[in-house]
């Protein structure tokens, strides 16, 4: 690619970015509204962690059930595809797990809490092992991250079944709260950014 082509490409991309920023500036309030709604939902989820935990599990169960039905139907559409049986079996598993989750959301919340605890513990152990073994730049932060994750996983496991009441909803609430503040800050930054029309 020649130097002229590179300059044209850079000019085109900067023009595209300018156009996108102008569009966002006209609708910055939509981003702000999204952020405010996410913050409100996050605060509600944190205020009622058990309700939000069960709600998240119910939505996950419904998603698994719908995905399972879609996989079962698509497996028959593929006809003589060699992976027909695998697709069909995976679809059945998804649908059954989704249906069981929706029928017994409290038990599913408990199982998911144990799964999250195990995930935190394993992730913590792997991060600590990698940091100590490889000693890459800034490995101490990864070691600290792994230690915190391991401690959190052990804490959740030791607090089970009480932790099932609040864990999923709290994680979901914190995630929505942080996402909401991110959108709010982004909307204000977009509104205050000066973009020339030319």
Whether 42 and 61 map to the same domain: the answer is no
Q: How confident is the model at residue 120 (pLDDT cuts 50, 70, 90)?
A: very high
Residue 198 lies in a domain: no
Q: In the chain, where does DSSP find H-type helix?
A: 3-26, 28-47, 49-77, 84-103, 105-134, 139-158, 163-192
Which single residue is written with the structure tokens 């100590």?
132
Tokens of 38: 């996410």
Whether 141 and 117 map to the same domain: the answer is yes
Mean pLDDT over the full length of the chain: 84
Residue 93 lies in a domain: yes
Q: How confident is the model at residue 2 (pLDDT cuts 50, 70, 90)?
A: low
**Torsion angle defined by CA atoms of residues 112, 113, 115 and 119, in that order, rounded to the nearest 10 degrees:** 130
Which single residue is written with the structure tokens 């205020």?
47
Please tell me whether the overall predicted TM-score, pTM, comes out greater than 0.85 for this model: no
Q: How far apart are CA 147 and CA 142, in angstroms?
A: 9
Please say if the pLDDT value at position 12 is more than 70.
no
Q: Supply the range of the domain harboring residue 35.
A: 1-47+169-193
Q: How far apart are CA 126 and CA 137, in angstroms?
A: 17
Whether 43 and 57 map to the same domain: the answer is no
């Amino acid at each position: 690619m020649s130097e002229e082509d590179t300059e044209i490409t850079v000019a085109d991309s900067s023009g595209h970015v300018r156009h996108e920023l102008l569009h966002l500036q006209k609708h910055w309030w939509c981003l702000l509204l999204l952020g405010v709604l996410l913050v409100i939902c996050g605060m509600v989820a944190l205020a009622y962690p058990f309700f939000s935990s069960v709600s998240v599990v119910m939505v996950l169960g419904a998603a698994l059930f719908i995905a399972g039905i879609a996989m079962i139907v698509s497996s028959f559409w593929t006809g003589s595809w060699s992976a027909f049986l695998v697709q069909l079996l995976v679809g059945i598993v998804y649908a059954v797990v989704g249906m069981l989750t929706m029928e017994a959301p409290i038990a599913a919340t408990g199982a998911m809490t144990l799964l999250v605890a195990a995930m935190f513990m394993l992730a913590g152990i792997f991060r600590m092992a990698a940091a100590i073994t490889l000693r890459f730049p800034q490995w101490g932060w990864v070691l600290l991250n792994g230690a915190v994750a391991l401690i959190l996983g052990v804490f959740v496991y030791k607090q089970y079944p009480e932790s099932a009441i609040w864990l999923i909803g709290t994680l979901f609430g914190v995630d929505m709260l942080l996402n909401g503040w991110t959108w709010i800050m982004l909307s204000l930054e977009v509104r205050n950014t000066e973009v020339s029309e030319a």
